[in-house]
A = this chain, B = another copy of it.
Amino acid sequence: MKELRGGVCAPRGFRAGGVRCGIKGSSKKRDLALICSDRPCVAAGLFTTNQVKAASVLVTREHLAGGTCRAVIANSGNANACTGEAGIAAARRMAALAADFLGIQAEEVAVASTGVIGVPLPIGVIEAGMASLGASLRADGEGHEAALEAVMTTDTRKKDGALEISIGGVPVRMGGMVKGSGMIHPNMATMLGFITTDAVIRQDILDRALRRAVARSFNRVTVDRDTSTNDTILILANGAAGNTPIDTEGEAGEAFAAALEELCVKLARAMARDGEGASRLITVIVTGTADEETAAVLARSVAASSLVKAACFGADANWGRVLCALGYAGVPFDPAGVDVRFESSAGSVPVCRGGRALPFSEEEAKRVLSEEEIRIRVDLRPAGGGSPGPGSASAWGCDLSYDYVKINGDYRT
């Protein structure tokens, strides 16, 4: 596996671009993006589970129903949600505008929006900006960067990646971008993710690979109930690599799925790190459960806890908050069989064994927790003896650097 530059333009046959068309009013920021393939693609997508769905989500689900899609048009500055029939018409119009420019069918275009809810999408400015959007398309990293900038809202960093693997000796590439910050609380912002690949792959294999990768990446930074009206993740596979078709979940399928998972984990970690005001990336690792999903639920509960996050901001080894967050996660475990340690590149400090305090050096713990990347490791076992379960999972979050951590970050000392 080799890291590449160029994001969604790293795979062959993809172009991207982004412009300012005026959705964000007087702001000078880009607000309209286009990503497209020079040939048809198989595609898969995952969407918000919120009952209130943006018009873009409804239209894109419809367009993706056949498992194909070769372009994505996306805007920031307006969510096109709670906008009724006019919103649906506007989303369809966006797809049609892109399709007309590219000379393809509107049904081959996905639409994504992020921004304020309940305000009519100014389709006129998008229409007026279409020519310059088309002109901005490039097959290199600059095109990717422009598209990425055009979907960012409160994001403070660009979050992207690309990599190459070998499928039967043929190099296959994939690249992606993700928009969404404020992961300090997981419902702070819409998440949009666009991934491209030049793999030749059957649609159902692609779909399953995406579901698995998302379950182990983006769903590990987001508590399920906290999805916005617009959350969307898409993957487009255009087959330009010319590899032997991936049409089973055998060796090639597994290699593809593992690479996609690695890319998604990279993007998910970048989202967690980009929490508004965040100063640390927190990885929570839970082991010893009956299965992976149980471990994931526990890890997410710790990563989502405001109290744990506030303690991390203060570099305060307040492990009691970790136990508290495990305790309300809603899955059974034995409180008397919990070991907790804080880790980072500065060291590893066991703080709790069997659900009870261990003596530790506050100074050493502070040093470990003062790093930019820290890990909270939770190992579970039956308190009465016996082997720990085989389940394990990681979840990602960031610290809370708000004013109120002045109150809570030092609560323990």
A interface with B by C-beta (< 8 Å): 49-53, 79, 81-84, 116-120, 154, 182, 184-185, 187-188, 225-229, 276-277, 301, 305-307, 318-321, 323-330, 332-333, 335-336, 352, 355-357, 401-404, 407-408, 411-412
A194 CA / B307 CA spacing, docked (Å): 25
A371 CA / B332 CA spacing, docked (Å): 44
Q: In the complex, what residues of B have CB within 8 A of residue A402's CB?
A: 402-404
Q: How far is the CB of A26 from chain B (nearest CB, A)?
A: 12
Evaluate contact between A117 and B81: CB separation under 8 angstroms. Answer: no
A190 and chain B: residue at smallest CB distance: B324
Q: How far is the CB of A333 from chain B (nearest CB, A)?
A: 7
Q: In the complex, what residues of B have CB within 8 A of residue A52's CB?
A: 323-324, 326-327, 335, 355
Evaluate contact between A82 and B355: CB separation under 8 angstroms. Answer: yes
CB < 8 Å: which of B84, B320, B323, B404 contacts A116? B320
Evaluate contact between A185 and B357: CB separation under 8 angstroms. Answer: no
CB < 8 Å: which of B307, B327, B401, B407 contacts A51? B327
A331 and chain B: residue at smallest CB distance: B51
Identical chains in the assembly: 2
Q: In the complex, what residues of B have CB within 8 A of residue A327's CB?
A: 50-53, 229
Give the most central of A84, A118, A301, A320: most B CB within 10 Å.
A118
Q: In the complex, what residues of B have CB within 8 A of residue A119's CB?
A: 357
Q: How far is the CB of A168 from chain B (nearest CB, A)?
A: 43
A50 CA / B328 CA spacing, docked (Å): 5
CB < 8 Å: which of B117, B325, B336 contacts A320? B117
Q: Which 7 A-B pairs have the closest CB atoms?
A: A117-B320, A52-B327, A402-B402, A50-B327, A118-B320, A51-B327, A185-B306
A117 and chain B: residue at smallest CB distance: B320
Q: In the complex, what residues of B have CB within 8 A of residue A326's CB?
A: 51-52
Q: In the complex, what residues of B have CB within 8 A of residue A51's CB?
A: 326-328, 332-333, 335
Evaluate contact between B307 and A404: CB separation under 8 angstroms. Answer: no
24 contacting pairs across A/B (C-beta < 8 A): A51-B327, A51-B335, A52-B335, A81-B320, A81-B323, A81-B324, A82-B320, A82-B323, A84-B355, A116-B320, A117-B320, A117-B323, A154-B408, A187-B328, A188-B306, A188-B307, A225-B328, A228-B324, A229-B324, A229-B327, A276-B404, A276-B408, A277-B403, A401-B403
A49 and chain B: residue at smallest CB distance: B328
Give the most central of A49, A53, A82, A333: most B CB within 10 Å.
A82
Given contacts A82-B323, A82-B357, A229-B324, 4 further A-B contacts (CB under 8 A): A82-B320, A84-B356, A154-B407, A402-B404
A31 CA / B182 CA spacing, docked (Å): 38
CB < 8 Å: which of B81, B320, B328, B408 contacts A226? B328
A305 CA / B226 CA spacing, docked (Å): 9
A154 and chain B: residue at smallest CB distance: B407
A203 CA / B325 CA spacing, docked (Å): 34
